[in-house]
Amino acid sequence: MKREVLVNGETVRIQIEGGRLRYDRDGITPVTAEYSVQELEPGWFAVRIGTHMYRVMLGAKGEVAVNGRTLRMEVFDPRDLRAAGRRAANQGRQEVLSPMPGKVIRVLAAVGDMVELGQGLVVVEAMKMQNEMKSPKAGRVAEVRTKADATVSAGDVLVVIE
């Protein structure tokens, strides 16, 4: 079985065949190993890759945690054309979402700006606290989908970085 995995905005190929796995990302040596997976509790897995154990927990949509660290990860079937389109659209792009309802105080970036990892993009006030939404990666601001004084809901896309 071959799938493509979009992990933190980057596409990786995964192949699973007869108890062996190949995880192939550009620029690094592919991981090829025998594996086993046990679901110990609903949503909580002990995964063996070769001789190493990892603890994997399913998260909210598009998120998974491994050894407690959360990754944004989605799996696509490369034969699925709709998914391929979505993946292509998402390739290398990362959306900065509002994690909760609030009000936009300031927008700190404009379309076309080059931003650094961790650079502030939008200031949102929620729960009486002002929070700076930071860039998840270095790149170019592709879209700004909000403006000052706008009211935002949880999950609203504020900015898109590519």
Partner 1 sequence: MFGKVLVANRGEIAVRLVRGLREQGIASVAVYSDADRSSLAVALADEAAYLGPSPSSESYLRIDKLLDAAQRHGAEAIHPGYGFLSENAEFADACRDAGIIFIGPSGDAIRQLGSKTGARKIAIGAGAPVVPGTEAALRDGAEAKIAAGKLGYPVLLKASAGGGGKGMRRVDREEDLEGALRDASSEALRAFRNGDVYVEKLVLQPRHIEIQVLGDQHGHMIHLGERECSIQRRHQKVIEECPAPILGQFPELRMRMGDAAVRVAKAAGYTNAGTVEFLVDADGNFYFLEMNTRLQVEHPVTELVTGIDLVEWQLRIAAGERLTIQQEDVRWLGSAIECRVYAEDPEQGYMPSPGKIVHLREPSGPGIRLDSGVYEGWTVPMEYDPLLAKLCAWASTREGAARRLGRALAEYSLTGVRTNLGLFREILVDSEFLAGRLSTSFLDEFFGRRQTGPLSAEAEAAAALVLTLGQKRGSDEAQRPVGNVASRWLADGRDGVTR
Q: Which residues bind partner 1 (CB under 8 A)?
A: 1, 3, 5, 7, 12, 14, 16-17, 19, 21, 23, 25, 28-29, 31, 33, 35-39, 41-45, 47, 49-50, 52, 54-71, 73-77, 83, 99-101, 118, 124, 126-127, 129, 131-134, 154
Tell me whether residue 69 or residue 81 sits nearer to partner 1 (CB atom): 69
Work out the angle at residue 65's Cα, subtended by the Cα atoms of residues 28 and 103, and round it to the nearest 5 degrees.
Answer: 110
Strand, coil or helix: 8: coil
Tell me whether residue 9 or residue 99 sits nearer to partner 1 (CB atom): 99
CB 32, min distance to partner 1, A: 9
* DSSP type of residue 139: E
Q: What is the C-alpha R_g of the chain?
A: 18
- Provide the strand spans (E) within 25-80: 31-41, 44-49, 52-58, 63-66, 69-76
CB 77, min distance to partner 1, A: 8
* Cross-strand pairs, 47: 37, 54
CB 74, min distance to partner 1, A: 6
Tell me whether residue 71 or residue 157 sits nearer to partner 1 (CB atom): 71
Instruction: Give CA–CA dist 46/48, Å, rounded.
Output: 7
